[in-house]
Structure 1
Amino acid sequence: MPHTSDPLRKLGFLTIGLFDESDPRPGHESTLEIIELGERLGFDSAWVRHRHLQYGISSPVAVLAAATQRTRRIDLGTAVIPLGWENPLRLAEDLATVDILSGGRLNPGVSVGPPMHYDRVRPALYPDTGDVEDFSYRRVRRLLDFVGGEPATGVSGTEGFETFSDRVQPHAPGLIRRMWYGGASLRSAQWAGENGMNFLTSSVVKAEESEDFAEIQLSHIHTFRAHHPDGARARVSQGLVVIPTDTASPEQRAKYEEYARTRTPRTTAPQGPARMLFAPDLVGTSEQIAERLYAHAAFREVDEVAFALPFTFDHEDYTQILTDIATKLGPALGWHPTA
């Protein structure tokens, strides 16, 4: 087994939270139960994806508000909230409220850009302002300013029986230091660093300099830290799809291997006009996965991860995968569970 002088410090996981359209509650309950399991297993963080007009979590902040009342220690994150669908001031209020409820455990991850299928979504989302909405990094900057306590209005003080604040309430001290940007390009990595955010990398990058996934992701990490005030100490979390099979049944192993096989073609070359490149899913024993991670140039640059759970598996599959990650893969990477 290879070793590293910098053992894995923080171990997290990411789930999409699928549900049945005709009966959505069990899917949401399953997500909350998975987060509770993650806390019992000692994971440092649990992250939820964001899916609009699909059969996955559309309101991660609401789901994480519920999770704050069913957990006590584990960090709770979003990976990521696409800000094109959000009003930064209203989102800042929601994030601060959930952070207060969690006792300071929220880690919001965000990204920018027009909403997916914008031409079709615009009439419902922005019927009157669709042509003038700003989907640039300025939208993130507005959110950061509101979260950090900058004035939102010139109104404060008492009017009649009501008292007003000129900044977002509640104010959650410390939340601004737990804001993450989910980036897949050099430009995003640089902007996140210059604006003092933390940086989420995933299993998708833009092939700008190379067609080698690990090399591209490594360049993003270096670019981010080169522009961050904290330099080499700036936080980066990697989010590859990892599926250990140590305690999986033969049927589960076959399912996992077939899942990875069908997704492999998109990893061989950049996809589409944006040249998006996907990382291969890592399927195998924890020892085999650890070997592949230690050979991954970008993994060697990080000390925290949020391994992504596959999209379409069953609850018992996620239980097995998380248990193997916490009890076998994590220790193989030098991580120790939080008591």
Structure 2
Amino acid sequence: MPDATRPLRKLGFLTIGLFDPADPAAGHQSTLQIMELGERLGFDSAWLRHRHLQFGISSPIAMMAAASQRTSRIELGTAVTPLGWENPLRLAEDLATVDLLAGGRINPGLSVGEPMHYDTVKHELYPDSAELEDFSYARVDRLGRLIAGETVREFSGRQGVVEEFSNRVEPHSPGLRARLWYGAASRKSAVWAGANNFNLLSSSVVFPEKDQEPDFAQIQQSQIRAFREAAATAQARGPARVSQGLVVIPTDSASPSQREKYQRYVDERTPRTRAPQGPKGMLFAPDLVGTSEEIAEQLYAHAGFQEVDEAVFALPFSFDHEDYVQILTDIAGKLGPVLGWTPAENGHDPQRAARPTP
């Protein structure tokens, strides 16, 4: 039986929302059903990965808007939205709109940097300004300021009979700025996030410093501590939050064929975790598969997990809908309680909640 130093306070899940390009609507509907299931199971949050020119969710804002009308309590987030693809002013408008529709439940997770495979898409993404675009922290800082309601321009007021103009992004959602997260995988990004009043999303990828041993858990722990130190010295708008996200696959109620499938998935991905990858020495965390008791023991021994009281467990990329139902049901009904987590008040019995809504 694992020994918890403190109970897990918040528990969420992350999905990529894969779909068949021959029938994309079915995949999107499946993702919405999974998010509804998450609320019924008592999860605190449901997060969407953001994919462009792939067979995963390219518009998580639209998906969150849809989910906001199917759910009433669960928080909805992105992990993460790469701002290199976005205009911060337009994104601020969309996020505020959906946040108001959701009753203040949106948690945008963000990152910066040049878009993946930029040379193959820049002629369409930024045909007139590809070489001038700023993909630095300034881009996410600008989004934060716009969401906070800072002035966009001097012009405002009535023009003509009916036209009225604002000097800030509209609509304005007052609590949204405090719910912005930054997805950091390096110490530099973690410190920047803390110093600039963002919450921290720490996931299954880290970039070590030159003097650090390639130990994923220890590196993640050091990044979280650096974030908290930076946040403590900043004039934060509220308490700094940290969430850790690893791939966990509990098998408590899985069928024999599912267990075999899950283990094969983990075995195929494990070799990449054994050594640093690429010129920056990127490290991947191993996926955790097994009973909830076995996974909990591994988590409690994980230096990164020891630093948090919020977790967002990532669902595997390529599984089927029924697999996700089983995994989420076991996380909510087995793994979460072993970690000291209590489902949200309107969560129901996990086995009953897993049944489709009539």
TM-score range, shorter chain: over 0.9
Kept in 1: contact 2:99–2:173 (CA 8 A): yes
How does the TM-score come out when normalised to structure 1? 0.99
Aligned to 2:200: 199
Aligned to 1:185: 186
Aligned to 1:61: 61
Provide Cα deviations, 1:280-307, integer angstroms capped at 9, x if missing partner.
0000000000000000011011000000
Question: Which whole-Å CA distance do the structure 2 matches of 1:130 and 1:179 have between them?
Answer: 27
Aligned to 1:224: 227
Kept in 2: contact 1:10–1:304 (CA 8 A): yes
For residue 304 of structure 1, the aligned residue among 307, 310, 316 is 310
Are residue 248 (structure 1) and residue 251 (structure 2) matched?
Answer: no
Question: Which whole-Å CA distance do the structure 1 matches of 2:301 and 2:222 have between them?
Answer: 16
Kept in 2: contact 1:207–1:270 (CA 8 A): no
Provide Cα deviations, 1:253-282, integer angstroms capped at 9, x if missing partner.
000000000000110011011211000000
Question: Which whole-Å CA distance do the structure 1 matches of 2:152 and 2:273 have between them?
Answer: 44
TM-superposed deviation, 1:154: 1.4
Question: Which whole-Å CA distance do the structure 2 matches of 1:3 and 1:148 have between them?
Answer: 41
Among all aligned residue pairs of Structure 1 and Structure 2, give the percentage whose two residues are the same amino acid.
69
Question: Which whole-Å CA distance do the structure 1 matches of 2:39 and 2:252 have between them?
Answer: 21
Over the aligned positions, Cα root-mean-square deviation in angstroms equals 1.1
Aligned to 1:327: 333
Aligned counterparts, 1:30-109, within 5 A = 30-109=30-109
Provide Cα deviations, 1:148-167, integer angstroms capped at 9, x if missing partner.
00011111100112000000
Mind listing any 5+ residue stretches in structure 2 that lack a counterpart? 346-358
Provide Cα deviations, 1:9-29, integer angstroms capped at 9, x if missing partner.
000000000011111000000
Aligned to 1:133: 133
Mind listing any 5+ residue stretches in structure 1 that lack a counterpart? none
Question: Which whole-Å CA distance do the structure 2 matches of 1:273 and 1:326 have between them?
Answer: 39
TM-superposed deviation, 1:143: 0.1
3-state SS of paired residue (1:181):
strand
Aligned to 2:299: 293
Question: Which whole-Å CA distance do the structure 2 matches of 1:49 and 1:120 have between them?
Answer: 21
Aligned to 1:214: 217
Aligned to 2:356: none
Q: 1:250 to 1:230 in 2, by over 3 A?
A: farther
State the number of aligned residues: 339
Provide Cα deviations, 1:169-202, integer angstroms capped at 9, x if missing partner.
0000110000000010011000000001100001
* Residue identity matched to 1:130: A
Question: Which whole-Å CA distance do the structure 2 matches of 1:125 and 1:72 have between them?
Answer: 35
Question: Which whole-Å CA distance do the structure 2 matches of 1:250 and 1:207 have between them?
Answer: 38
Kept in 2: contact 1:46–1:75 (CA 8 A): yes
Q: 1:301 to 1:99 in 2, by over 3 A?
A: same
Kept in 1: contact 2:13–2:46 (CA 8 A): yes
TM-superposed deviation, 1:4: 2.1
* Residue identity matched to 1:202: S
Are residue 235 (structure 1) and residue 241 (structure 2) matched?
Answer: yes
Aligned to 1:20: 20
TM-superposed deviation, 1:2: 2.3
Q: 1:230 to 1:287 in 2, by over 3 A?
A: farther
Question: Which whole-Å CA distance do the structure 2 matches of 1:11 and 1:210 have between them?
Answer: 30
3-state SS of paired residue (1:22):
coil
Displaced runs of 4 or more, over 3 A: 229-233
Provide Cα deviations, 1:76-126, integer angstroms capped at 9, x if missing partner.
000000000000000000000000000000000000000000011100100
3-state SS of paired residue (1:90):
helix
Provide Cα deviations, 1:295-328, integer angstroms capped at 9, x if missing partner.
0011011000000000000000000000000000
Question: Which whole-Å CA distance do the structure 1 matches of 2:22 and 2:245 have between them?
Answer: 31
Aligned to 2:352: none
Question: Which whole-Å CA distance do the structure 1 matches of 2:158 and 2:341 have between them?
Answer: 52
How does the TM-score come out when normalised to structure 2? 0.93
Kept in 2: contact 1:196–1:229 (CA 8 A): no
Aligned to 2:355: none
Kept in 2: contact 1:270–1:277 (CA 8 A): yes
Question: Which whole-Å CA distance do the structure 2 matches of 1:24 and 1:5 have between them?
Answer: 44
Kept in 1: contact 2:195–2:233 (CA 8 A): no
Question: Which whole-Å CA distance do the structure 2 matches of 1:206 and 1:14 have between them?
Answer: 21
Aligned to 1:266: 272
